[in-house]
């Protein structure tokens, strides 16, 4: 597994912890990295993803909610919700190609969630990718 995917997996775990505990990002990052022997690249990228996602969480949640017909955000599985949040943050950053972001999110869902979740994540993210493509065309 590549270091960026591993960093994404770490970021999802930290976002999950934040979602369920309500602890601050700084506290979560501090405790998460204790006793782990990760490269600085993994730590830096994961922490950047967590900070960026939490800084935009309201916007990200609105985007997910628009695409998740018949699913309220709070009723989604917490792990799926946080995989989606992380991926939407990356889509908004427009650094990594959208197909890569979506594929990475599906692989993280495959590891941490269920087979049905991979389809759910794919569908939501594809809708957001299309929405972002349309908004980019309008600018």
Q: For 35-74, how does the pLDDT look when each residue is reduced to its tens digit (9 = 90+)?
A: 888 899 999 999 999 999 999 999 999 999 999 888 888 8
Mean pLDDT (the chain, rounded): 90
Domain residues for the domain of 10 are: 3-138
DSSP 8-state assignment for residue 94 = T
pLDDT at residue 2 tops 80 = no
Q: What is the CATH number of the domain that holds 104?
A: 1.10.940.10
Record the pTM: 0.91
Q: Considering its fold, how many domains does the chain have in total? A: 1
| Pairwise CA distance, residues 95 & 15, whole Å | 21
| Pairwise CA distance, residues 22 & 128, whole Å | 26
């Amino acid at each position: 597994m590549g270091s960026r995917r591993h960093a994404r997996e770490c970021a999802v775990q930290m976002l999950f912890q934040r979602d369920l505990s309500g602890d601050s990002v700084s506290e979560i990052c501090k405790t998460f990295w204790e006793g782990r022997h990760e490269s600085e690249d993994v730590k830096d990228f994961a922490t950047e993803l967590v900070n960026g996602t939490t800084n935009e969480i309201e916007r990200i949640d609105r985007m997910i909610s628009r695409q998740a017909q018949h699913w309220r955000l709070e009723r989604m599985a917490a792990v799926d919700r946080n995989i989606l949040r992380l991926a939407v943050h990356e889509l908004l950053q427009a650094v990594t190609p959208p197909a890569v972001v979506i594929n990475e999110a599906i692989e993280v869902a495959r590891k941490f969630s269920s087979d049905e979740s991979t389809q759910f994540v794919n569908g939501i993210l594809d809708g957001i990718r299309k929405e972002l493509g349309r908004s980019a065309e309008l600018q």
